[in-house]
């Protein structure tokens, strides 16, 4: 099993998470909007975590170098996307945001 992603790696996957894990992401957001207590949304949050971890592994398998370079750029630049657009473009070319198989 792959290790859990670091924060800069999650930032690198952020757009992918929103689009590729759309169902889980929306369910988690909607639940949090209607509940004040985090435990009330545990099933939705766990589903999003599982989907995100799967996406992380898929990114590592599909575009390992591009993902690593983009994530490291974000880490070195205080998570500022503007400073890493070239790395982001290369990563998204190798691992498109929209899954063509869906």
**pLDDT per residue as tens digits for the range 22-80:** 999 999 999 999 998 889 999 999 999 999 999 999 999 999 999 999 999 999 999 99
63/4: higher pLDDT = 63
Indicate the length of the chain as a whole number: 102
The structural domain count of the chain equals 1
Q: Does 102 map to a domain?
A: no
Q: Which residue has the tokens 């070195």?
A: 76
* Contact between 77 and 83 (Cβ < 8 Å): yes
pLDDT, residue 4, reads 85
Neighbours of 45 (CB within 10 A): 17
Distances in whole angstroms, Cα of residue 6 to Cα of each of 29, 55, 62, 90, 102: 22, 14, 18, 20, 27
- pTM recorded for the entire structure: 0.83
Q: Does 101 map to a domain?
A: no
Q: Does 37 map to a domain?
A: yes
Q: Does 100 map to a domain?
A: no
Q: Does 40 map to a domain?
A: yes
Band of residue 2 on the pLDDT scale cut at 50, 70, 90: low
Q: Does 72 map to a domain?
A: yes
* Contact between 47 and 27 (Cβ < 8 Å): yes
pLDDT, residue 99, reads 61
68: domain range? Answer: 7-94
* Model confidence at 92: pLDDT above 90: yes
């Amino acid at each position: 099993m792959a290790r859990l992603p670091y924060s800069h790696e999650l930032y690198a996957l952020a757009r992918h998470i929103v689009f590729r894990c759309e169902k889980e992401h929306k369910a988690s957001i909607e639940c949090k909007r209607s509940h004040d207590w985090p435990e009330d949304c545990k099933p939705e949050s766990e589903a999003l975590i599982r989907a995100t971890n799967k996406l992380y592994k898929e990114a590592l398998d599909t575009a390992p170098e591009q993902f690593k370079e983009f994530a490291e750029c974000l880490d070195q630049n205080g998570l500022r996307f503007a400073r890493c657009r070239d790395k982001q473009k290369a990563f998204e070319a190798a691992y498109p945001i929209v899954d063509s198989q869906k």
